[in-house]
Amino acid sequence: MKFDIMRDRLLDGLNDVMKAVSSKTTIPILTGIKIDVSTNGMTLTGSDADITIQTSIPVEEDGEQLIHVTEPGSIVLQAKMFNEIVRKLPTNDVEIEVTDQFQTRIRSGKSDFHLIGLDAAEYPMLPEISPDRQITLPADLLKSVIRETVFAVSTSESRPVLTGVKWQIKEDGLVCVATDSHRLARRKVTLEHLPTEEANVVIPGKSLTELSKILSDSTTPVDIFMTNQQVLFKTSDVIFFSRLLEGNYPDTTRLIPEEYNTNVTINGKSLLQAIDRASLLAREDRNNVVRFSTLADNNIEISSNSPEIGKVEEEIQVVSLEGEELRISFSAKYMMDALKAIDGQEVVIQFTGAMRPFIIRSVHDDAILQLILPVRTY
């Protein structure tokens, strides 16, 4: 293998695939990045066995020569070292040559590196995925869907399936649900083209978070393919694979109350900031619980009390307040997470009683639903 490449483009590609490489892997070859060079261009692959990221750089783009291939081939180079070397090379021209026994020479300007590589034939193969259960979403919408749900996954490994987000495709579109059994986030997306088969998969929250980092904030389409073991997200230059979580995801539909006794419409930002302040004192007791009380004249009060530190009270004028009086306590963190996930100025909060789950949604849009279980404090 021997080729010349523009350093900046190689760095961009490495930047993407490095997100999949973990120093904690127990599979030695996965500490490396696989480089495949053909007459069409270069492919870089990084993986931690759960996530695999592959990116391609063409030989030529918009009339500009990015790679000059002298001899095609493949090699695996130690990821962190290779990335740092490329980042620090003195010029934008990089020559990479594999000589005897996976010995790899990297030259740029007067710098001359020799790295000991690994056999690319030992690198795991990528799974093949059929297009039966394929959907397409714009990159920015996909990022929103992830942002609005992934925070609610469980961080505990006691029920592994809850560390993922359930993605279900049915005739009415895509429904994404995450819950850690104390709160739930649900996002519905209407699809223009439904796939030929229904799908029901649980994608690890960590995979979605990493995917989000490499997606652009544009409307560029992302093709999504699902199988029983893997999901694949494909953009024009990056392919992102993730394994799926096994196990039965709980039925969450019956968690959502059907009747509400207190309905509050409120400015989401004012509420978020008041809870943020109240949580300063709530946090000290480690349970991070704040109290929400309805008052007269369309006011509510957010309060918190920590016997050793002090207390805080704050009134907020709401847009509307209907139904029964209420005093309810809940996790400040869960409420802040939910409010941050909902776009739009005004939110509706619907309560069934001090001991029952309540929901938060935008006044304008039913696509996002956030549900929180209250905390018993008195």
| Residues facing 299 on adjacent strands | 317
Residue whose entry in the numeric block shows the structure tokens 């809850």: 162
Please report how close the Cβ of residue 121 comes to a copy of itself at its closest, in angstroms: 21
Would you count residue 310 as binding a copy of itself (CB under 8 A)? yes
Q: Which of residues 112-171 bind a copy of itself (CB under 8 A)?
A: 112-116
Would you count residue 313 as binding a copy of itself (CB under 8 A)? yes
| Residues facing 291 on adjacent strands | 303, 329
Of the two residues 53 and 312, which places its CB atom closer to a copy of itself in the complex?
312
Please report how close the Cβ of residue 109 comes to a copy of itself at its closest, in angstroms: 8
d(CA 52, CA 43): 13
Q: Which string of x and - marks every residue 31-70 that binds a copy of itself (by CB under 8 A)? A: ----------------------------------------
CA-nearest of 9, 16, 50 to 213 is: 16
Would you count residue 328 as binding a copy of itself (CB under 8 A)? no
Would you count residue 333 as binding a copy of itself (CB under 8 A)? no
Please report how close the Cβ of residue 47 comes to a copy of itself at its closest, in angstroms: 21
Q: Which of residues 95-114 bind a copy of itself (CB under 8 A)?
A: 104, 110-114
Would you count residue 78 as binding a copy of itself (CB under 8 A)? yes
Would you count residue 90 as binding a copy of itself (CB under 8 A)? yes
Of the two residues 311 and 364, which places its CB atom closer to a copy of itself in the complex?
311
**Which region, left, alpha or beta, applies to residue 34 given φ > 0 means left and ψ of -120 to 50 means alpha?**
beta
Would you count residue 229 as binding a copy of itself (CB under 8 A)? no
With contacts defined by CB under 8 A, name the span among 151-159, 187-195, 224-232, 304-312 that binds a copy of itself: 304-312
* One residue of 6, 126, 309, 375 binding a copy of itself per CB under 8 A: 309
Would you count residue 312 as binding a copy of itself (CB under 8 A)? yes
Q: Check: CB of residue 59 under 8 Å from CB of residue 39.
A: yes
Q: Which of residues 257-276 bind a copy of itself (CB under 8 A)?
A: 273-274, 276
Which residue ranges make up the site for a copy of itself (CB under 8 A)? 78, 81, 84-85, 88-90, 104, 110-116, 273-274, 276-277, 280-281, 284, 308-316
